[in-house]
Homo-oligomer: A and B are copies of this chain.
Amino acid sequence: MTATTTPPSGNGNGSRPGGRSAKVRAAVHRAVQEVVAEGSPDVLTIPVVAARAGVHATTVYRRWRSVGELLADVATSRFTGDIVVPDTGSLRGDLERYAFDLAKDLGDPDTLALVRATIGTGGEQGAAACRGEREQGLEAILGRERARGEQPPTLEHTADAVLAPLYYRAVFTDLPLTAEWTRTLVSRLLSPGPVQQQAS
């Protein structure tokens, strides 16, 4: 339960590691997440965020320039590096764990609100931030399967079959992301029979 690790001091360029700059960033990010979680993306403006974070609006404008850039930055922090799927020993096990974890994450109302707000104003940069490293996570799982000497589906196919329904259902519908449904997504991907071989 220690605070964020502080890098060694005295980096010689005059900035203070773990100092004011990092504190401002943390306060602004927290303010954005609070306003978004309160369910009013309409009122998410830089003056509102600055007031909530206790900093001058000009400080926020200088660093992020627009609400869209700010949201993309918050989403990047939030969605990068947070998914590591342990090696369960099988492709099915890995994908089921991956889908279950992603469903849990996207099923969190605050996370979903951040994704929606970022999509709304963050443009391509925001969209990329919301994907985060999800596809790299899938690629790591598929790479492990290849290392086992197997031939897994392509990344494109896996993203279409597992990643896309999770995001679509979370963002565009009010259907629940149940554990049973996430297993069904994986099962549909891995269990179809070899139709092409029936003609041979």
Task: Give the B-binding residues of A (Cβ under 8 A).
Answer: 39, 41-42, 66-68, 116-121, 123-124, 127-128, 130-131, 157, 159-161, 163-165, 167-169, 171-174, 185, 188, 191-195, 198
Considering the complex, give the chain B residue whose CB is closest to the CB of A192.
B192
Interface centre among A118, A157, A159, A165 (most CB of B within 10 A): A165
Interface of A is mostly: helix
Q: How far is the CB of A49 from chain B (nearest CB, A)?
A: 13
This protein's copies in its complex: 2
For this complex, 30 residue pairs linking A to B, each with C-beta atoms less than 8 Å apart, are A39-B123, A41-B68, A42-B121, A116-B120, A116-B127, A117-B120, A119-B119, A119-B120, A120-B120, A127-B172, A127-B173, A128-B174, A131-B172, A131-B173, A159-B165, A160-B165, A160-B168, A160-B169, A160-B185, A160-B188, A161-B188, A163-B168, A165-B165, A167-B172, A171-B171, A188-B192, A191-B195, A192-B192, A192-B193, A193-B198
Check A157/B188 contact, CB under 8 A, given A172-B167, A195-B193.
yes
Q: Bound complex: CA of A66 vs CA of B42, how far in Å?
A: 8
Nearest 8 A/B pairs, CB to CB = A120-B120, A193-B193, A192-B192, A164-B168, A160-B165, A164-B165, A164-B164, A193-B195
CB neighbours of A160 from chain B (8 A): 161, 165, 168-169, 185, 188
A67 partner residues in chain B, CB cutoff 8 A: 42
